[in-house]
Amino acid sequence: MEKDLKEIISAYNGKKSDLIPILQDIQSNYGYLSEEMMNEVSHFIGVSASEVFGVATFYSQFRFKPQGRKHILVCKGTACHVSGANQIIEGIERHLGIEEGDVTFDMEYSLESVGCLGCCALAPCAMINKDIKSNLTLKDIKRLFSKEKKDN
């Protein structure tokens, strides 16, 4: 259940040192940080909105767009890269009609690339939520997403 933003923020003392933990709690609850959320944080801890945004953009853990119910991470590590990860990403983008970093209109899927999933022997691979998909080919993409729809 989503907590109210003010409820999350009010659990802190309003000190500048609370900034990162507050942002982490907000993202944990909402899945991302919106401009409005960061403005609320800036007012609460008494720093400029640009300082909050600067901290949030410095750390790769923070997201600024909501994720889909099924978040796709495509590995771009060395083994996956040489095995065709870029073509897999392009194929998923075409199939879902979104670009990397975006979410589908129905909020079902979001797409992101990562440096490594730690599955080098399964290259190229992707993860949909916590489910690893291995040895992917372009032919697998359509089948993969039609299977996903049947499973849910």
pLDDT in tens, 26-66: 998 998 999 999 999 999 999 999 999 999 999 878 989 88
Q: Assign 22 to helix, strand or coil.
A: helix
Question: Cis peptide leading into 21, omega within 30 of 0?
Answer: no
Q: pLDDT tens digit string along 92-141? A: 999 999 999 999 999 999 999 999 999 999 999 999 999 999 999 999 99
Indicate the CATH number of 5-58 among 2.60.120.10, 1.20.120.420, 1.10.10.1590, 2.40.110.10: 1.10.10.1590
Q: Mind spelling out the 3-state secondary structure of 65-100?
A: CCCCCEEEEEECCHHHHHCCHHHHHHHHHHHHCCCC
Q: Where are the domains of the chain?
A: 5-58, 70-151
What number does CATH give the domain 70-151? 3.40.30.10
Indicate whether this model's pTM tops 0.75. no
**Residue 150 pLDDT grade (very low, low, confident, very high; cuts 50, 70, 90):** low
**Residue 149 pLDDT grade (very low, low, confident, very high; cuts 50, 70, 90):** low
